Structure 1
Amino acid sequence: MHLLSNILASKATLLLSRGTRTCDVAAELSTICALQGQVSRSRSRHSQELSWAKRDGSRNALVSTTTSLIINSVERSRMLSVKAFTEEQEALVVKSWNAMKKDAGELGMKFFLRVFEIAPSAQKLFSFLRGSDVSLEQNQKLKPHAKTVFVMTCESAVQLRKAGKVTVKDSSLKELGAVHFKYGVVPEHFDVVKFALLETIKDAVPEMWSPEMKNAWGEAYDKLVEAIQKEMKPSSGDS
């Protein structure tokens, strides 16, 4: 599955489940594509397909179209991301993390707010957000959690090449895996988080950002997700 394709498909499904008109959903998805600069050279053909989906009013047609809309533009990124984590990638990650580290708390919040902006339903995965009448920005439990997750993700990326594996403690990985399993986290959720993470880093270090840096952080994140998914099973307390 392709990252932005998954995000668009998830967004379409969410909006449609809320009763949003199909034409309005299609318009919003087109805007997201334009803002992210992910529309491929075959945009005109896909735009025509999108207009057909709007007229058709079919949920499956719309989701299918949004998935194919940017498939060509992300294929190259996906192919690059499967390469082994290199010394050059490590240098890019270390350089950018050193620049971001002092603002980890603020960036962690931006990271999580971006996740919730893309997928508002993800808030239901956090017990301290369910039923809360406090804004996300003012939630005192979200702030430290966001910083912890952001720092853990970045530190794992920094250590990836030297360690040859994700360096999060086994106990933490088991806990992360069990929690993700308990709350029904699916691959599309990880895709949304990856997109939000890369956008947060891009905004934090715009002068350093490059396709190579994007691939480096993307590869590191994929390794962390792979490690978490291996531990996605019920905890001993749930059995």
Structure 2
Amino acid sequence: MTPAQISLVETSFAMVAPLATPAAAAFYERLFELDPALRPLFRNADLVVQGRKLMQAIGFVATNLRVPDQLLPAVIALGERHGTYGVQPAHYDTVATALLDVLQDGLGAAFTPELREAWAAAYALLAETMIAAAGSSASA
């Protein structure tokens, strides 16, 4: 990610944070709309609690992109946990689509092509790290 992209993610997350609860609900609604087969992965989850965790994780990523030594160990641990839940590499693409759709809906005109690209880059970093961590923990 470029420094400009990091700045865009940081500043735009400040606009998203006050909308955390409805944004998280919209995210899961969109996720299950895109791939209903993902719903069973959340059968034992309270989606309100899960939504809070999602927004906390996104906030952590958005505020720590400049500090990879702090960010990456947490993302690796998250990836390892998601691997144990049955999350598959292909699911990350669906999550990306749902996330970008919800950001676009929530931010409206402020969600410029540059901002979309910045969030896509941040998510790609997150997803690639989590997929690698899940794969390495599965083979360990």
Displacement of 1:190 after TM fit? 0.3
The match for 1:167 is 71
Displacement of 1:178 after TM fit? 3.3
Displacement of 1:109 after TM fit? 1.2
For 1:115 and 1:179, the matched residues in 2 are separated by 19
Map 1:9-48 → 2, pairs under 5 A: none
Counterpart code for 1:167 = L
Q: Relative to structure 1, is the Cα distance of residues 180 and 123 closer, same or farther in structure 2, using a 3 angstrom cutoff?
A: same
Please, what TM-score do these two structures have when normalized by structure 2? 0.85
User: Structure 1: where are the runs of 5+ without partners?
Assistant: 1-84, 130-140
Contact 2:26 2:102 in 1 (8 A): yes
Which residue, out of 81, 84, 88, partners 2:4? Answer: 88
Q: 1:192-223, CA deviations, whole angstroms, 9 ceiling, x for partnerless residues?
A: 00000001111111121111111100010111
What is the number of residues matched between the two proteins?
Answer: 138
Structure ranking higher in helix proportion: 2
Contact 1:166 1:223 in 2 (8 A): no
Contact 2:89 2:131 in 1 (8 A): no
User: Structure 2: where are the runs of 5+ without partners?
Assistant: none
Counterpart code for 1:151 = Q
The match for 1:219 is 121
- Give yes or no for the alignment of 1:158 onto 2:60: no
Q: How much identity, in percent, do the aligned residues show?
A: 28
Q: 1:53-99, CA deviations, whole angstroms, 9 ceiling, x for partnerless residues?
A: xxxxxxxxxxxxxxxxxxxxxxxxxxxxxxxx112112211221111
Q: Relative to structure 1, is the Cα distance of residues 144 and 163 closer, same or farther in structure 2, using a 3 angstrom cutoff?
A: same
- Give yes or no for the alignment of 1:117 onto 2:25: no
Q: 1:105-144, CA deviations, whole angstroms, 9 ceiling, x for partnerless residues?
A: 2211111111011111101112416xxxxxxxxxxx1111
RMSD of aligned Cα (Å): 2.3
For 1:103 and 1:206, the matched residues in 2 are separated by 13
Moved over 3 A (4+): none
Name which structure has the greater RCO, CA cutoff 8 Å, separation 6+: 2
For 1:147 and 1:168, the matched residues in 2 are separated by 21
Contact 1:104 1:150 in 2 (8 A): yes
For 1:122 and 1:128, the matched residues in 2 are separated by 13
